[in-house]
Amino acid sequence: MTGSWAGRPPLEIRTADLPTQDRNLMTQHRISNWRTSIFALAVVATCLVVGLVVYARSSGPDGAASPEAVVADYVTALRDKNCGRLADIADPENDSATEINRRISELGGDRLVISDRRFDETASAAEVRVTLSGQSDASPYSDVIWLRRIDDAWFVALGPHQNSNPKGTL
Are residue 82 and residue 133 in the same domain, yes or no? yes
| CATH (domain of 113) | 3.10.450.100
**Residue 50 forms part of a structural domain:** yes
- Which stretches of the chain score pLDDT less than 50? 1, 54-59, 167-170
Domain count within the chain: 2
C-alpha pair distances (Å), 90 with each of 31, 117, 147? 54, 18, 9
Are residue 71 and residue 152 in the same domain, yes or no? yes
Are residue 80 and residue 128 in the same domain, yes or no? yes
Q: So what's the pLDDT on residue 52?
A: 56
* Backbone torsion region of residue 56, taken as left when φ is above 0, otherwise alpha when ψ lies between -120 and 50, otherwise beta: alpha
Q: So what's the pLDDT on residue 55?
A: 47
Are residue 71 and residue 117 in the same domain, yes or no? yes
Are residue 152 and residue 72 in the same domain, yes or no? yes
Q: So what's the pLDDT on residue 58?
A: 45
**Residue 1 forms part of a structural domain:** no
C-alpha pair distances (Å), 70 with each of 6, 8, 48, 129? 76, 78, 34, 12
Threshold 0.85, pTM exceeds: no
Q: So what's the pLDDT on residue 129?
A: 95
Are residue 73 and residue 147 in the same domain, yes or no? yes
The distance from CA 71 to its chain's CA centroid, rounded to whole angstroms, is 22
Q: So what's the pLDDT on residue 46?
A: 65
Are residue 73 and residue 152 in the same domain, yes or no? yes
For residue 109, give its domain range.
67-156
